[in-house]
Amino acid sequence: MDLILKQEIATICIVHIIAIIISIIAFVILYMKANRDHALKSFLVLQISMIAWMVFKIFKTVSHTEMIRWSFIVAYYACTCILEVAFLEFGYAYYKGKPLSKKIRFFIYILPIVQFLFVLTNPYHYLFYKTYDFWGDSFGILFYIHTALEYIFILVGTYFCSKVFKEHFKNKNVFYKYLVVSAIVVPLILNFLYITKVIHSVIFSLGIFVIFDITPIVFTWASLIFVYATFKHDFFSLSPIMRHEIVHKLDTPIGILNSAFEVSYINERLETMISEDIENLAKEIFSEDIKKELRKKDEIQKEIVFNKLMLIVTIKVIKSIQETQYALIIRDISPYKSIETKIINKQNDLNAANKKLEDTIKVLKETSKAGARNYVARELHDIIGHSLVVTIKLLEVAKLYFNKDKKLSIEALNNATLSIDTGIKDMNGVSTKESLNNTYTGELLKKDLTKMIEHVEKVGVKTKLHFKGTLYIIEEKVFDIIKKVCTELVTNSLKHSQASEVFISVNIKKTSIDVLFVDNGIGSEQLVKGNGLTGIEDRLKLVGGEVQFNTSKGEGFMSNIVIKER
């Protein structure tokens, strides 16, 4: 290998490596700086294909066999095919703000595939490379067709870019306009001069014998220009203020409109929400009244219904030297409106229920006095009934022993007086309830029942009380009902059964209370429930209790009570 060839290989590698590093830096800066729209995505594909092109150029240059060299040539031509399509897509997306349609994209991708097949199948037809060896090559007709197609793609992309440049840089210095245009034009011109061998003649005339295709390197110049344009002149249509709005509201649907109220940018959240209907949304928002209001205010908030969505749209006016733009910050409140509607419906239902409740309370107020009278009447019936029965029995005893035993007669009269006093005291207790702080236990119930049957024994009726479960606490209502039921049963026995013996058993358990009442009275062939027995059943129902009455003629009377709920 001679010295000139070594210098050429070294120069190609060093220059390309430097260009690759610069391109990668430009790639990263652009990706971090610019908005992730369709134009940027296409531009980054162009950048990647250009970097890969230079990498394969280096590998081709240092390849030590013809076969390896040819494989890298095929690889970098694949990159040029990708590059031409990416540039056309970039130009269109930069101009229109949206990607090519699927049909057009399918068509324009067919041509690069055909171009690549030109290169890939060259060993079978030699129409792309007419001659090819390790040291040099010459081109055939398919190469020039490939080059013409590549120029067409790039020129179409340049046309779209120029449409934007004309508007975007109309107020800029002429230097900036030509600087940005050179980023596209210069690589094309140099590539044409290289293909036509014109650049070879110029280089050789200067006494320089190192010559290679510098097209991919010049594209590095294009990348640097685009980075500069993005930072200084918002090449990707994002002013610093707009960029600030977007960076700090990434989770919020955001759109940007230009001074003509045309959509120039939407972020991913808004794109997901509205899909491709953003133009109609913009028309819905920017009515003539809103446009007039925006001339006076820098920020407006509007509530609209769009595609069955309830949206709150905040319109911010962003003024810059270049033009006035409008930022749309959109909030979907449809879920909240749905919840609000449900709450209103529930509130209406609640108001209706309250009205019904008020009517019911009114009726209850009107009937409460009658209910209270019935309660008092029932309580007084039981108390007076028991007290009178005991008193009458005691008076009968006093009368019976008046002539026979004055002492017993007087004792019976005293007990009758005591019975009346106890009854009066119990009647007063109907309206004056005992303190709620009292603890109602089995022990207290046993004490009260014992006191009650002691009065009964004074009329000559033998009584026996069996009590179990004195340590259990009893609910006040249950306590009161058991006490009254036992009193009523004893009263009925004194009035109707002519019994000489009465037996009461109370068994208080953890989950229930059992009460058994038995007397040895005359009984009855058929049980007839009067006010007393009916009152007992009603009372027990209030505490989840049940009662069974049994009687037969000559076999006394029995009541079996079970209260399950405690």
Given this model, what pLDDT does residue 321 score? 47
518 CB-near residues (< 8 Å, 6+ apart): 502, 503, 556, 557, 558, 559
Q: How far apart, in whole angstroms, are the C-alpha atoms of residue 406 and residue 419?
A: 20
β pairing state of 501-508 and 462-468: parallel
Q: How would you class 539 by CB atoms within 10 Å of its CB: exposed for 0-12, middle for 13-18, buried for 19 or more? A: buried
Q: What is the CATH number of the domain that holds 299?
A: 3.30.450.20
Residue 349 in any domain: the answer is no
Same domain, 44 and 58: yes
Please give the residue range of the domain that contains residue 267. Answer: 241-332
pLDDT in tens, the chain (566 residues): 566 667 777 877 887 788 788 778 877 776 666 666 677 788 888 888 888 988 998 888 888 788 888 899 899 899 989 988 998 998 888 788 788 888 888 888 999 999 999 999 998 988 988 876 655 678 889 988 998 998 899 888 888 877 776 666 665 556 666 666 676 677 767 766 766 667 657 766 766 655 556 666 666 666 666 655 554 544 544 444 455 454 445 667 878 888 788 887 777 777 777 766 777 888 878 888 888 888 888 888 888 888 778 888 888 887 764 567 888 888 888 787 777 777 788 778 878 877 877 777 666 656 555 445 555 565 665 666 666 666 776 676 666 666 666 666 777 677 767 767 676 766 666 554 444 445 788 999 999 899 888 878 877 889 999 999 988 889 888 998 999 899 889 888 888 888 899 999 999 998 899 999 999 999 888 888 888 888 899 889 989 999 999 998 888 999 999 998 65
Cα–Cα dist 73/56, whole Å = 7
In a domain, 347, yes or no: no
Q: What is the pLDDT of residue 292?
A: 82
- Beta-bridged to residue 326, according to DSSP, are 257, 317
Co-location of 460 and 559 in the same domain: yes
The answer to the question of residue 194 being in a domain is yes
CA 560 – CA 536 distance, rounded (Å): 12
Distances (CA, A) of 168 to 238, 282, 317, 321: 12, 22, 19, 12
- The answer to whether residues 516 and 477 belong to one domain is yes
Other CB atoms within 10 Å distance of the CB of residue 424 = 13
Would 341 be classed as within a structural domain?
no
Please identify, among 237, 270, 288, the residue that sits at the C-terminal boundary of a domain.
237
Q: Is residue 91 part of a domain?
A: yes
Residue that is last in its domain, among 204, 237, 270: 237
Residues 166 and 300 in one domain: no
Burial class (CB in 10 A: 0-12, 13-18, 19+), 455: buried
Task: Say yes or no: 175 and 49 in one domain.
Answer: yes
Give the domain CATH number at 85.
1.20.1070.10
Residues 423 and 454 reside in one and the same domain? no
230 is a domain residue: yes
For the beta sheet containing 254-257, the strands, ordered from the edge strand earlier in sequence to the opposite edge, are 263-266, 254-257, 324-332, 309-319, 299-306
Residue 346 in any domain: the answer is: no
Rounded CA gap, 308 and 407, in Å? 101
Q: Is 262 found in the same domain as 230? A: no
Q: Is 342 part of any domain?
A: no
Task: Examine the domain organization and report whether 363 and 314 are in the same domain.
Answer: no
Q: Residue 21 and residue 7: Cα distance in Å, rounded?
A: 21
User: How high is the pLDDT of residue 85?
Assistant: 92
Examine the domain organization and report whether 394 and 457 are in the same domain.
Answer: no
Task: Specify the pLDDT at position 274.
Answer: 73
Strand partners, 131: 138
Q: Give the pLDDT confidence of 321-360 residue by residue, as tens digits.
A: 456 788 888 888 878 777 777 778 877 887 887 787 777 7
Domain end residue (candidates: 402, 433, 464):
433
Residue position matching structure tokens 């008046």: 402
Query: Based on the structure, what is the number of domains in the chain?
Result: 4
Q: Give the residues across from 257 on adjacent strands.
A: 263, 326
Q: Where are the beta strands (DSSP E) in 320-416?
A: 324-332
What CATH number has the domain bearing residue 504? 3.30.565.10
Q: Are residues 35 and 88 in the same domain?
A: yes
CB 323 within 8 A of CB 258: yes
Yes or no: say if 160 and 95 are a contact pair by the CB < 8 Å rule. yes
- pLDDT score for 433: 45
Residues 165 and 23 in one domain: yes
Task: Provide the terminal-to-terminal Cα distance of the chain, rounded to the nearest Å.
Answer: 110
Does residue 503 share a domain with residue 418?
no
Q: Which residues does 190 contact at the CB level (< 8 Å), separation at least 6? A: 199, 214, 215, 218
Q: Alpha helices of 97-205 — where are they, by DSSP H?
A: 102-120, 122-125, 141-168, 174-195, 198-205
